[in-house]
Structure 1
Amino acid sequence: MSALSNDNFSRRSLFRAAAGMAAAGTLAACGSNNGRGGSGGSGTQLVQYFHAYGEAGTEQAIKRYAAAYKKAGVSTNWITGNNFEAKLFSALLTKQAPDVFEFHPQLQMVKSGQVADLSDLIDPVKDDFNPNDIKSHTVDGKIYGIRMIDDPQFFYYRKSMLEKAKVDVPTTLDELLEAAAKLTTDKVKGVFLGNDFTAIQNNLIFSAGAETLDANNKIGYHTDGVVEGLKKLRTLFTSGHVLLDAPTDFWDPSALNQGLCAIQWGGMWSMPAMQKALGDDLGIFPFPKIGSAGKLSVYNGGWSIFVNAKGKNVEAAKEYVKWLWIDQKKYQEDWALSYGFHIPPRTSIANSATKLKSGLPAEAVKLFTDYGHFDNIGFDQVMITAFNDVIASSVRKNGNPEAALDTCDKKVDVELKKLFG
């Protein structure tokens, strides 16, 4: 269940500037299709927003769950294209705002009173959630949002291609660059990191032994290791050994499946499609270490469900969210495991998920457990966009990484003052 439909771009990257503008109220409301209608007769009508997942059956599944709910009519706005976040943020400023929506934990949405406190829903089952998923949604002891799926990301590779080129699985960024060179032929590129490299920006930070923000909510990403990583990614970008301008982006498995590259960055959601195409020739490894303080890293993406605290039906929306994302474990398991692979955030569901118990899926779960990093709720859209610009200027263009990070720091500091004083 990749985050995006086939006409979409990066899971989390390209929307950010637009989302920030929408949060500031500068985007027009999205079109007249407000999704209202649905089932439920003359009773309460709720609207939920979901972005268009790429895997077949996802839209039908979400609508099937909603149709089974009897206490209110629930209609779904299934938003295609690469501007889900912009449409969501702009809709939240209008009378057509959704009652329920999926997104990622963002402190600025809590501070602005946009998302409802869901502690009363989660508290009775809190111990059944991955503690990191609770932590990443918690502000001042209150929990905002319920995690639906955890989406670890890592490198996929063709075992036969590495064997033929006598290449070992890379454990450092230097080794990845060397591997990419050896694996590149006139028909195949060594590695694919996504079309604009922003897909791996969190791992650039984590694998350099740094964090987005430190424990005191100060800048944590501006380190010598991150600078070194940016320089090496620039070398890779210009090497001729990396797949650029692929027909689809990293969230889609086709670059590796079709033999366009030997190694591809991707998410666990792609695993069933990749296994179907490549069988036992498929392997995975975490993002390699960068510099002397480096550590292997796995970035955990994923999606959470939120209730619009400014909506007309907050209590009815909370009741629906509790019914679907707390009580209906069969639906939660179906959502996590039937349309691509994800790790269920509920421990009880994860423990009974036979599909994740052996082979490559089990290996992915172990990588997630050993090397996983979760979103920091304080590192918001503006900050993510600022770091997107670092990648653009010092990897895709030939800018100075230190200067790019300095520019980023100024933007992030302004935002940190707004959020933390």
Structure 2
Amino acid sequence: MKQSMKRLLTAGLIFTMFAVLLAACGGGGTNTTDNNSGQTTDNPDKPFAGKKLSIVTANHPWGDAIKEMLPEFEASTGMKVDVQSFFEDQLAQKLTVQMTAGSVTPDVFMYSPLQQAKLFVKNGWIYPLDDYAKKEAAYDFDDFSKASVGSNMIDGKLYGIPIITEQHILYYRKDLLQQAGIAVPKTMDELLAAAQKLHDPKKEIYGFAARGQRSPLVSQISSFIYSEGGDFMKDDKATINTPEAIKGMTTYATLLRDYGPPGVLNMSWPQAIGVFAQGKAAFFADANSLFKNATDPEKSKIADQVGFAVFPAGKEGSQPFNITSWGLAMNAKAENKDAAWAFIQWASSKEIVLLTQQKGNPGARMSVWDNPEGITAFPKELAEVTKETQKGGVDHSLPPVDKVSEARDIIGAIVQKSISGEDIKAAAEQANKEFQVLIDKEKGK
């Protein structure tokens, strides 16, 4: 790793990435001044020499990979980078506390766009990155998938750079489908028919496994709703009672009610993929990022029989979520924004994304997915499905509101009631009214 990083950086990556920033900060002279701090450096090759950055990451494999590469980054830029990592809940709490207090640190932080962007932007905690991202042709911002960028857009502005993506896909048992002479489902109707045919509770084989817990299931029904032409809301109006939304939720509820395993109402993704990995389900639908739970022989009894497929099509085709699960954002009060961007730019460059993706971190750069060296950490079929899904999909898997948790509880109740045998249309009408109240409160109505 050290040798490859040394070659990468000395080959001119860092010079290219920072040359324009240097010119912008000091006009290209030998004595430069940082726009934000007023400090100077006499080394044109290290425009941020002596600067210190505070970075906060989640306890995530991506963060571990970046930490390994930081010494080379520091040596090449002259910066000192302090990195702290926290579990997801702790990270959210830390950021909320520090931002509320108006802290200038951390300069850069990992964040979950779909969970936090709306609230953070509303509170003025994140600095927009549009000008930075599009300033240098060498950065090639257009290389990021459109959906991953869309996950980081609020009111037409870019507030984060995607570093980890997730796509909704279909997992399946190759052996079961082959034995039954069933083709891999390409449509919702085909999935329902295949799940029904392979459902055999007496042999502890269930047709379909997925999240059934009220809040966790909401992200999963999104793709079913989108593929029928619906969404959670449109133009500040709740739309979970539309025919399209109800059709998508009905398909999901039917799969779990009629062909799911016992106890499905209490299942989040660990329990659901656990059923699949134990060889007790023919199909499992969830994020591609979970694949190792099904393909690792130490965790799975069917590791060599797992297949991956593009999400089945509904009336509007295959429209799965294609999201940024983790992005990098800049503190709006960071005192050294050019230096903060230098780190973000480096960490999300083509070269570094290639290295982090080789460690199993699915990035958002299409060129890396097209590079054979960029898919070595993934099963071939999964890489192909991911590449195909990256080309389209929908940029959100959750309702785009500030109070995401409350919205999830409201919407998730619809599916749970349907699984329990209640009228889904009546449940959707009631939930739509409750969701509209939540939307109106956030809009100050």
Q: Report TM bin, short chain.
A: 0.7 to 0.9
Cα offsets for 1:163-221 (capped at 9, x unmatched): 3344443344454344334333333332221252234132132122123444x554454
2:319 to 276, 292, 297: 297
* 2:432 matched residue in structure 1: 405
Name the counterpart of 1:193: 210
- 2:129 is aligned to 118
Distance apart, 1:309 and its partner CA: 0.6
- Normalised TM-score (structure 1): 0.73
Distance 2:170 2:308 in 1: 5
Larger Cα Rg: Structure 1 or Structure 2? 2
Match of 2:30 in 1: none
1:46 — aligned with what? 53
Judged with a 3 Å threshold, the aligned counterparts in structure 2 of structure 1 residues 192 and 87 are, in CA distance, closer, same or farther, namely farther
Asked if 2 retains the 8 angstrom alpha-carbon contact of 1:203 and 1:299, the reply is: yes
C-alpha distance in structure 2 between counterparts of 1:304 and 1:139, whole Å: 14
C-alpha distance after superposition, 1:20-45 (max 9, x if no partner): xxxxxxxxxxxxxxxxxxxxxx9554
Measure the CA separation in 2 of the matches of 1:368 and 1:246. Answer: 29
Indicate the larger mover: 174-183 or 369-378: 369-378
Q: Residue 338 in 1 paired to residue 359 in 2?
A: yes
Q: CA deviation at 1:338?
A: 1.5
Q: Rate the CA distance shift 1:187–1:408 in 2: closer, same or farther, 3 A.
A: same
> For residues 369 and 318 of structure 1, do their structure 2 counterparts lie closer, same or farther at Cα, with a shift above 3 Å needed?
closer
User: What does residue 19 of structure 2 align with?
Assistant: none
Change (3 A) 1:114 1:75: same
Report what 2:169 is aligned to: 154
The one of 308, 311, 314 aligned to 1:284: 308
Report if the CA contact (8 A) 2:51-2:80 is conserved: yes
Residues 296 and 247 of structure 1: CA distance in aligned 2, closer, same or farther (over 3 Å): closer
Return closer, same or farther for 1:318/1:310 CA change in 2, 3 Å cut-off.
Answer: same
Corresponding residue to 1:66 among 50, 56, 70: 70
Give runs of aligned pairs for residues 100-139 of structure 1, distance below 5 A. Answer: 100-105=108-113, 106-123=117-134, 124=136, 125-139=140-154
Other-structure match for 1:145? 160
C-alpha displacement of 1:412: 2.2
Question: CA separation in 1, counterparts of 2:194 and 2:204?
Answer: 16
Compute the displacement of 1:236 (Å): 3.7
Number of equivalenced pairs: 367
CA–CA distance in 2 between the matches of 1:249 and 1:353?
Answer: 30
SS of residue paired to 1:408: helix
8 A Cα contact 1:48 1:101, kept in partner: yes
* 8 A contact 1:172–1:288 mirrored in 2: yes
Equivalent residue, structure 1, for 2:95: 88
Structure with higher helix content: 2
Q: Note the aligned Cα RMSD (angstroms).
A: 3.6
With over 3 angstroms needed to count, the CA separation of the structure-2 counterparts of 1:363 and 1:245, relative to structure 1, is same
Which string of whole-angstrom CA distances, capped at 9 and with x for unpartnered residues, describes residues 83-102 of structure 1? Answer: 64344334432466532112
- The Cα offsets for residues 300-320 of structure 1, whole Å up to 9 and x where unpaired, read as 132211011134544432232
Q: 1:219 to 1:369 in 2, by over 3 A?
A: same
Per-residue displacement from partner, 1:335-392 (whole Å, max 9, x unpaired)? Answer: 223225x2x3234333324454994134313541465111299913425641442212
Structure 1, unpaired ranges of 5+: 1-41
Q: Output the CA distance in 2 between the equivalents of 1:324 and 1:371.
A: 24
Q: Deviations over 1:103-162 (max 9, x none)?
A: 244344334321112223211233333344444434566432111133212111111112
State the AA in 2 paired with 1:179. A
CA distance in structure 2 between the aligned counterparts of 1:377 and 1:119, rounded to whole angstroms: 24
1:135–1:200 distance in 2 versus 1, CA, 3 Å: closer
Residue 375 and residue 242 in structure 1: after superposition, are their counterparts in 2 closer, same or farther (change >3 A)?
same
Describe the superposition over 1:22-74 as per-residue Cα deviations: whole angstroms up to 9, x where unpaired. Answer: xxxxxxxxxxxxxxxxxxxx955433232233xxx544313223343324332
Q: Is residue 106–residue 334 contact of structure 2 (8 Å, CA) maintained in 1?
A: yes
Structure 2: tracts of 5 or more residues without a match: 1-48
Query: Is the alpha carbon distance of 1:83 and 1:158 closer, same or farther for their aligned partners in structure 2, counting shifts above 3 Å?
Result: farther
CA shift in 2, pair 1:312/1:300, >3 Å:
same
TM normalised by structure 2 equals 0.69
> Retained in 2: the 8 A contact 1:250–1:265?
no
Offset, 1:411:
1.4
Deviation at 1:276, TM superposition (A): 5.4
What SS does the corresponding residue of 2:360 show, helix, strand or coil?
coil
Query: Is 1:206 the counterpart of 2:230 in the alignment?
Result: no
1:299-378 paired onto structure 2 within 5 Å? 299-302=321-324, 303-326=326-349, 329-339=350-360, 342=362, 344-356=363-375, 359-369=380-390, 371-375=392-396
Residue 227 to residue 118, structure 1, CA distance change in 2 (3 Å) = same
Q: Paired residue for 2:416? A: 395
User: For residues 256 and 409 of structure 2, what CA distance do their matches in structure 1 show?
Assistant: 15
Closer/same/farther in 2, CA of residues 250 and 177 from structure 1, 3 Å limit: farther
Deviations 1:256-313 (A, max 9, x none): 33323221223233446645545663322344345xx443222113221101113454
Shift of 1:230: 2.8
What is the letter of the counterpart of residue 244 of structure 2?
G
**For residues 174 and 160 of structure 1, do their structure 2 counterparts lie closer, same or farther at Cα, with a shift above 3 Å needed?**
same
Change (3 A) 1:187 1:87: farther
Which residue does the alignment assign to 1:267? 287
Contact in 1 for aligned 2:54/2:81 (Cα 8 Å): yes
Per the alignment, do residues 251 and 307 of structure 1 end up closer, same or farther by CA in structure 2, a change over 3 Å counting? farther
CA distance in 2, matches of 1:87, 1:245: 32
Aligned position for 1:26: none
Q: Quick one: structure 1 residues 273 and 383, their matched pair in 2 at CA, closer, same or farther if it must change by over 3 Å?
A: closer
